[in-house]
Amino acid sequence: MNRKERITELIKQKLSPEQIEVKDFSHQHSKGAESHFDVFIVSSAFEGKRQVMRHRIVYQAVQSEIDQGMHALQLQTLTPEEYQKNNVDRIEPPTCRGGS
């Protein structure tokens, strides 16, 4: 199982998301390192929580991957109501200028 799959499974176990999408954008930073990820999550577990707390929950869920060298995690965390109400489009990670 690669890191992208592990991140997906860890988040599914912790948050039971209605929607999750994990993208590996490590190729913009280093070759084959599996170090940079963009994660879009829609989960009722985020209801009543501010953005900082939502991110903490996700970081706790994937702490084992951080400990094993994951370097960057860009997060979009929404409740089902926020997603449906705002018809939010996924924000793509910025192109990195450094690393190679």
Domains of the chain: 3-86 (3.30.300.90)
pLDDT for 27 equals: 60
Structural Rg of the chain based on CA atoms? 14
Q: Which of 2, 10, 5, 25 is nearest to 71 (CA)?
A: 25
**Predicted model pTM:** 0.80
Tens of pLDDT along the chain (100 residues)? 899 999 999 999 999 999 999 998 776 556 667 778 899 999 999 999 999 999 999 999 999 999 998 878 899 999 999 998 876 655 555 555 554 4
CB 79 within 8 A of CB 47: yes
Residue 24 one-letter amino acid = D
Q: How far is CA 25 from the centre of its chain?
A: 12
